[in-house]
Amino acid sequence: MNKRFISALLLAHLTLSAGVHTHTQKGTQNTVSNERSHSARKAIDSVAKIEEKEVSIVDNFKSMFSDAKVSGQVKTVYGEYNYKNKNDTYSTAIGGIIKYELASLNGFNAAAAVYTSHDIPFATGEGVKQNSELSSKSGSYTEMAEAYINYKYEDFNFRAGRQVLNTPLADSDDIRMISNTFEAYIATYNFKGLEVMAGSIQSWQGFDAGLEAPWVETGDNGTYFTGVSYSDGLEFNLWYYNITGQTNAFYFDGGFEYPLNEDIIVHAMVQFLDESELNQSGVQATIYGALFEFVVHGIGFNIAYDKALVNKNKESFSGTGGGTLFTSMDTMIIDNIAKNSDAEAIVGGIVYSMHDFGFLYACGEFTSETEHVREQDMSIEYNVNDEFLVAGVYVIEDDLKQTSKTDYDWDRFQLIVNYNF
C-alpha cells in the first residue's frame, strides 16, 4: 500500500473520530424516489447522500429563527487514477456541507447551504499529478450551492432558487466531493404516490458541471420541463424537457418490484429516451433499454441493456448529472461513445446488503462502430451508525478496441469517510 494512501487514510480517521450526535430526518426535496437503484452509478451516488431535516412549523416570525435547524456533512475523500498512457494523479480532500434552514410560517420558509472542498497538500499530487475532480485545479472550491425560498400548502410545494434536484435528466450525482445543485423554479404536487413536477432550470454547479467555472447554463436560455412519476410496487416516469437551443427530450420508464416471498424479490424495468435536435446542436438520438433484477436473501443479481440509435454528425445526451440510463456506471455512460453511430451497453452486476454492510460489483461492455470499452465497478460500504459511513470504490476501465493504450485504459480508487449531522 503506497504512502500517499496511508496518509489519506490516517487523516480521514483523525478528521471524523469526534463521535456522533444528531439524527437526520427526511424532509421535502425535489426528488424522484425509487425503491431500488436503477444503475451502478445510482448505487454509488447513494452511498453518502445527505437527507433534509424535517422542517418545524411555527406560528410567528421570531420562531422561524429560534426553531431553525442546522444540518450538514463532513466528508474526506481520497481519489487516485492509475493511467496506462499518462501520469498518475491523486488527491485527498476534506470538506462538506453546512446548511441553515428556517422553520415554516404559513407555509413559507427558506434555506441556504455552503458546499466546500479543499485539497490537503501533503496527501495530494502536485502539478500534473493532482486529481482535480475533488476540489478543482486550484485545489479549493467553495460555493453557496443552495439558497432558496420554499412554499408548501398541503400536497403542493414550490421552491425557487439554488436547490438539490433529482429528476431523470437533471440530478445531483453525488459521486465525488461536490454534488450537483441547480438554480431552478420548481412546482411539485403529490397525490397518493403520484408526483407531478414542472419547472425551469437556469444553471447548475457541481462535479458534473465542472469545478473550474460554477453555475453553467443549462441550455441557451435554460431548461423547461414537466413530468409525472409513481412509485409504489409499480413504477413509472413520464417526462418532457425543452433544453433550449439543444434538444427536446421525451423520457419514459416503467416497471415493477414484486416479492415472491419474504426472501425473494423480482424487479424489472424498461426505459425510452427520444431526443430531437434544436438549432443544429447535433443532439439527436433514440435510446431504449431494460433492467432485470432478482434478489434472494439480500443478494441482488441484475442485468441491464441500453441501445442508442444515432445518425452521423449526431450524438446522445442523457442529462445534466449522472443520467437516468440503466447502464450508467461510475465513469462510463453510453453518451461517451454514442457519437456519429449507434451504440449499445450491457451491464451485469451483483449487489449485497445486510445490516450495516453493503457490496456492489458491476461489469459493463460499451460498444459502437469505433469504440469498445469495458468498465468494472466495485464498492464496499460500512455504516458505523446512521450518521457515520466509510466506503471504498474501485474502478477498472479498459479499451478493448485499440492496440495502443488510450484514455480508456486506467484504474481508479476512491476512499470516502462521511459524517452527516
Q: Is 41 helix (H, G, I), strand (E, B) or coil?
A: helix
Q: Is 413 helix (H, G, I), strand (E, B) or coil?
A: strand
Could you write out the DSSP letters of every residue in 291-317? EEEEEETTEEEEEEEEEEE--TT-B--
Q: Does residue 354 have a pLDDT over 50?
A: yes
What share of the chain has pLDDT > 90, as a percent?
82
Phi, psi of 40 (to 5 degrees): -60, -40
Could you write out the DSSP letters of every residue in 231-299? EESEEEEEEEEEETTTEEEEEEEEEEEEEEETTEEEEEEEEEEEEEE-TT--B-EEEEEEEEEEEETTE
Place of cell 450524438: 315
- Poorest-confidence range of 66-75, 228-237, 309-318? 228-237
Q: Per-residue pLDDT averaged across 331-356, rounded?
A: 95
Q: Does residue 67 have a pLDDT over 80?
A: yes
Q: What pLDDT is recorded for position 16?
A: 38
Q: What pLDDT is recorded for position 7?
A: 45
What share of the chain has pLDDT > 70, as a percent?
88
pLDDT digits (tens, 9 = 90+) for 41-58: 666 666 666 777 889 999
- Greater confidence (15 vs 222) lies with 222
Q: Does residue 3 have a pLDDT over 90?
A: no
Q: What pLDDT is recorded for position 41?
A: 67
Q: What pLDDT is recorded for position 34?
A: 41
Q: Per-residue pLDDT averaged across 138-161, rounded?
A: 98
d(CA 167, CA 159): 15
Q: What pLDDT is recorded for position 45?
A: 62
Q: Does residue 159 have a pLDDT over 70?
A: yes
> Percentage helix, strand, coil, to 5, in the chain?
10, 55, 35
Q: Does residue 216 have a pLDDT over 90?
A: yes
d(CA 35, CA 231): 8
Q: How many residues does the chain have?
A: 421
Q: What pLDDT is recorded for position 259?
A: 94
Q: Per-residue pLDDT averaged across 330-341, rounded?
A: 96
Q: What pLDDT is recorded for position 14?
A: 40
Q: What pLDDT is recorded for position 314?
A: 97
- Greater confidence (27 vs 204) lies with 204
Look up the pTM and report it. Answer: 0.89
Q: Per-residue pLDDT averaged across 137-145, rounded?
A: 98
Q: What pLDDT is recorded for position 40?
A: 64
Q: What pLDDT is recorded for position 50?
A: 74
Q: Per-residue pLDDT averaged across 230-257, rounded?
A: 95
Question: Going from the N-terminus, what domains does the chain have, and what CATH number goes with each?
Answer: 3-420 (2.40.160.10)
Rounded mean pLDDT of the chain? Answer: 91
d(CA 351, CA 302): 8
Q: What pLDDT is recorded for position 33?
A: 41
pLDDT digits (tens, 9 = 90+) for 105-122: 999 999 999 999 999 999
Q: Does residue 13 have a pLDDT over 60?
A: no
Q: What pLDDT is recorded for position 147?
A: 99
- Poorest-confidence range of 64-68, 138-142, 191-195? 191-195
Q: What pLDDT is recorded for position 225?
A: 98
